[in-house]
Structure 1
Amino acid sequence: MIFERSLQRELAYTAGAVFMVLLTIMLTTMMIRIVGFAAQGQVDPRDVLVLIGLTVIGYMAVMLIVTMFVSILFVLTRWYKDSEMVVWFASGVSLTRLIKPVATFATPILILILFFAFVGWPWSNAQSKLIRARFQQRDEVSLLAPGQFRESPATHRVFFIESMSSDQARVENVFVTTTENGKVSVIVSRTGHTETQKNGDRFVVLENGRRYDGEPGHPDFRISEFQRYGVKIQSQPVVATPTASSTSTPGLLRQPTAENLAEFAWRCGLPLIAINLMLLAIPLAYQNPRRGRTINLVMAVLIYLTYSNLLNVVQSQIEQGKLPFGVGLVALHIVVLALVAFLFWLRVRNRPLFTRAMFSRATQGS
């Protein structure tokens, strides 16, 4: 029908605009957050853009849910405001007839939500953890930067170099201090270079320098000079600790621990939330043309926040063993679906969801 095509076209245009707004907000927020991590030395500045992209992929399912819900609500609310819905109802189109065109519009979005919830979310989390672990567990040579004091995460060493060649093979004016068992060892040298032994061990070989060994607060320091002195480079294997959020969906089912089942219930909850909110937006969009539309929008925001927070509560209860997995998987969504059916019933009987008398009584009671 013409009205169905018109509705789907307007929903598509509105969804594109809403998604771009949400994406801009997400990119801005993540850029500020991840750049802050880079400034604190928690991530490599060269990985900032990659981490932002991975974060956006991880939260894409949530953004698509909000996009679909807000788009349906905005379009239908405008139709009520401009009396277009009155025309369609007068033509014999019932409220339930809106489900078909809305579902046709939402089907591609629901498929994307399924993909990003079950595939995109764990993959992006796993890649982000790997990048962070690789940066945190890098070897000591990669820490060196001309003119800066750098502390090794693997040992109690502090490095300082004045200059370094472009390939990090040679350094000049080196300062290394090591603290171990209450004793301090300070090494200074004019030049140095890196060497790799046949067994794979790597060393920074310092040349023409001095070593000072002693205990702070005591004058009996030992001073020795050397022509060559090797400092072994400590390195650690890159190991990203697996968590439920970074485990693939088949991996969660292969190891059905409480934490994994809770994560699986959360992932399943995202498409179920999307379906319920898609249906909920139809009766919730009812609008009296003589009144403002603020109430519906406020209620929509509150409903979404409440629904998503309840899903997080259910996940936490399953993880703690306080709620059976089967109950936590479907109970919340069945309750919301019953609420949607009740709202449809109210609208079919032409009863307003929110009346001025309700708010008047609430004001007098407070």
Structure 2
Amino acid sequence: MITLIDRYLLREVLKAMSAILLVLTLILSSNSFIKLLKEVATGELHAELLAQALALQMVVYFSRLIPPAFFFAVLYVVGRMYRDSEMVALESCGIGGMRIYRSMVLVVVPVALITGWLSLYVTPWAGRLSAELLSSQQGQAMELAGISAGRFNEYSQGDLVLYVESLDSDEHRMQKVFVQQRREGALTLVSAKRGYQRIDNNTGDRYLVLEDGLRYAGIPGQADYQVSEFDEYALLIKASSGGEAKVTRRSLSSYDLLLSDSIKDRAEFQVRLSQVLGLLVFALLSLPLSRTLPRQGPFGRLVFAFVLYTVYLSLQGAAENWMIHARTPEWLGIWWVHLTLAVVGLLMLLPDTPPIRRLRRRLRSQPA
């Protein structure tokens, strides 16, 4: 039966977690949006795919944001209850820390299930969808994305420089085009009245087709250059990569990772599962870490919790690396990180267990 205390803690923790998730999501989405804008400006990503790519990236990040958001939400809520003497009032009514854990279970179980679903199924699905999206739609989008009329646009790390005097309203046809292309030491300069992009239906190669212009080709510093006049000239922009989606290990399904013989695949599966284990471990640590005195400031505990979570992430990365390079046994994997923290949490809970509390009361009641 869910009591009033359970509903109160459930409401407060979910409110705090939602606020922390919102802040973390805004920070990550801003950083991701800036990176994607740079890719659009350099032609690596078409502007039409920007919103979809950003949404898929946030889906990938979301499962990683829930464990720290839940951890710091419990720290904030329970720490505030200690500072406001609410926990003292509850303990005076016979409701101790172990009873609060029952209320935390009502929160952590559904949150852990959602985190596991996101980490094991939704995140790899979003990774595959992102790879397929960029493979299928980017091939039909303009390779020279982010062109600005009236200025020089650099692509391919400066090997291709494009100047366009004006663009049509659909930005698919260019007027008065100047192109400089450097390839294998040779320099090609092309000046044309019009230009547009074309994709070869057979090979998938991308070409910049220029109409009614002049072409100058040669090696800088040498006088033997060639000048040719053309009605139509196709300049290869990028050869086709076969049109296959680039699927990384993080985009593979969890079932494939579990059945794989590769140590890297099994390590990736453990990393996904560690999102749930980390959530459970820090739920165990949250209550003893949030215990504060009524006049004690909240920042000391929060700083210590932040350092502890940073150490946890560092140990998890190190454990994954040690597992891949066979520095630790495969059966040990990265589980030892969560087991170590769980033992620490249980040791921190010992003072609140009924036998230890009875022992403390017995020692205090004895005459000096």
Q: TM-score, length-normalised on structure 1?
A: 0.80
Of 252-261 and 105-114, more deviation after overlay is shown by: 252-261
Deviation at 1:261, TM superposition (A): 1.5
Kindly indicate whether residue 194 of structure 2 is the aligned counterpart of residue 225 of structure 1. Answer: no
| Secondary structure class of the residue paired with 1:326 | coil
Name the CA distance, whole Å, in 2 between partners of 1:127 and 1:250: 17
Structure 1: gaps of 5 or more residues: 352-366
Inter-partner Cα distance in structure 2 for 1:49 and 1:13: 28
Amino acid in the other structure paired with 1:113 = T
Counterpart of 1:31 in structure 2 is 33
Contact 2:42 2:154 in 1 (8 A): no
Residue type of the alignment partner of 1:10: E
Asked whether the 8 Å contact 1:77–1:293 carries over to 2, the reply is: yes
Q: How does 1:178-217 map to 2 (within 5 A)?
A: 178-180=181-183, 182-191=185-194, 206-217=210-221
Distance in 2 of aligned mates of 1:318 and 1:117: 20
After alignment, is 87-96 or 342-351 more displaced?
A: 342-351
Note if contact 2:98-2:352 (Cα within 8 Å) is conserved in structure 1: no
1:16 Cα deviation after fit: 2.7
Q: Within 2, Cα distance between the matches of 1:194 and 1:31?
A: 27
Match of 2:74 among 59, 72, 84: 72
Residue equivalent to 1:263: 268
Worse overlay, 193-202 or 14-23: 193-202
* Structure 2 residue aligned with 1:310: 315
Q: State how 1:325-364 maps to structure 2 within 5 Å.
A: 325-348=330-353, 349=356
Q: Given residue 25 of structure 1, which amino acid in structure 2 is its aligned partner?
A: I
The separation in 2 between residues aligned to 1:194 and 1:250, in whole angstroms, is: 42
Deviation at 1:123, TM superposition (A): 3.0
The Cα of 1:118 is off from its aligned counterpart by: 1.1
Name the amino acid aligned to 1:326: W
Instruction: Tell me the distance in 1 between the aligned counterparts of 2:298 and 2:199.
Output: 71
Aligned-pair identity in percent equals 25
Deviations 1:23-80 (A, max 9, x none): 3333333334443444455443444433332222122122211221122222222222
Q: Take 1:42 and 1:62, find their aligned partners in 2: how far apart are those partners?
A: 27
Check conservation: 2:323, 2:329, Cα contact below 8 A.
yes
Is the contact made by 1:138 and 1:235 (CA closer than 8 Å) also made in structure 2? Answer: no
Distance 1:104 1:217, change over 3 A: same
Mean Cα deviation higher: 306-315 or 205-214: 205-214
Q: Give, in whole Å, the separation in 2 of the partners of 1:96 and 1:184.
A: 75
In structure 2, what is the equivalent of residue 244 of structure 1? 249
- 1:216-273 CA-partner distances (Å, limit 9, x unpaired): 32334343434x3432545414444332222221221233312211111111111001
Q: Which moved more, 1:316-325 or 1:15-24?
A: 15-24
Alignment-derived partner of residue 87 in structure 2: 85
Say if 1:137 and 1:309 are closer, same or farther in 2 by CA, change over 3 A.
Answer: farther
For residues 154 and 299 of structure 1, what CA distance do their matches in structure 2 show? 45
Of 11-20 and 101-110, more deviation after overlay is shown by 11-20
Q: What displacement does 1:316 show?
A: 1.4
Distance 2:352 2:341 in 1: 17
What residue number does 1:289 align with?
Answer: 294
Instruction: Tell me whether 1:299 sits opposite 2:304 in the alignment.
Output: yes
Evaluate the alpha carbon distance shift between residue 205 and residue 124 of structure 1 in structure 2; reply closer, same or farther with a 3 A threshold: closer
CA offset at residue 308 of structure 1? 2.0
What is the match of residue 357 of structure 1? none
Cα distance between partner residues in 1 of 2:201 and 2:48: 32
Alignment root-mean-square deviation, CA = 3.5
Show structure 2 runs of 5+ residues with no match: 359-368
SS in 2 for 1:328: coil
In structure 1, how many angstroms separate the alpha carbons of the residues matched to 2:34 and 2:158? 31
Secondary structure of the 2:313 match is helix
- Equivalence map 1:3-22=2 (5 Å): 3-22=5-24
